[in-house]
Amino acid sequence: MGLKAAKKAAKKGAKKGSKHAIEKHAAKKHAEKHPGKKAAKKTAPTQEKHGSESREHAADASLELTRAFHHLQRASALISLLEQDSGGDLRHLLEYGIELYRTACRVEASGGKDVVRCALGLLRASEHLAMAGLYAARVEHRVSIEAPPSHQVERHIEKLSGRMAELDEPQREQARRLLAMAHELVRRADANRKSDPHLAYELTMAADGLCTALEEGL
């Protein structure tokens, strides 16, 4: 009886082992037949992450392009108040900003954020510089009131000076000229900080716009 039972157990074990081997082989064959499923599980989160980043990038660029458009319109309106034979540098700055804006409109959808930010910086500078011109021309119409504290403008000038000091020397003549203009605007803003804080603010923000464009590789 013992020998018979041993044979029966061995036979049963062999069947079980054979069944396990068949199932293992089938699973391996299935995996070889569908190798993309496992890889898809690994790559799907990465693709989703890159897709999300791309959509965020496009949304940011679109928002900045909208802001650039509004600065363009306001700068144009302000410059239209100037005499035809005045504001040559300002008009040139606006024209350059408009040229970059048109370029940005063409590349915005493909992620040309640097161009968008350059356009935004120049057009913002144009608007604030035009506003500064109006403030400077209002001498006979100024209201005699106590000026508010100028600490905010002072802090902005300090931060802006630090950013400009970190800029590399531009290679292009146009960029070098705009960097020199930014330094001059900061100097004038600091000189008017206490006597005319509104003028100082506009000059500072104009220099900030130029600095932003230069930081983006203008």
Whether 188 is covered by a domain: the verdict is: yes
pLDDT tens per residue across span 44-64: 555 555 555 555 656 677 888
Residue 94 pLDDT greater than 90, yes or no = yes
Whether 43 is covered by a domain: the verdict is: no
Whether 27 is covered by a domain: the verdict is: no
pLDDT above 90 as % of the chain: 39
| CA torsion angle 133 134 140 141 (round to 10) | -160
- How many domains does the chain contain in total? 1
- The whole-number pLDDT of residue 130 equals 92
Exposed, middle or buried by CB within 10 Å (0-12, 13-18, 19+), for 129?
A: buried
Which residue range forms the structural domain that includes residue 192?
54-139+149-215
- The whole-number pLDDT of residue 141 equals 60
* Sequence-distant (≥ 6) Cβ neighbours of residue 123 within 8 angstroms: 68, 71, 72, 75, 94, 97, 98, 101, 209
- The whole-number pLDDT of residue 110 equals 52
Whether 192 is covered by a domain: the verdict is: yes
Residue range 93-107: mean pLDDT, rounded: 90
Confidence of residue 182 (pLDDT cuts 50, 70, 90): very high
Whether 197 is covered by a domain: the verdict is: yes
CA distance 42 to 45: 7
Residue 17 pLDDT greater than 90, yes or no = no
Confidence of residue 3 (pLDDT cuts 50, 70, 90): very low
Window from 57-71, 159-173, 182-196 with minimum mean pLDDT: 57-71
CA angle 96, 173, 110 (to 5 degrees): 50
Confidence of residue 97 (pLDDT cuts 50, 70, 90): very high
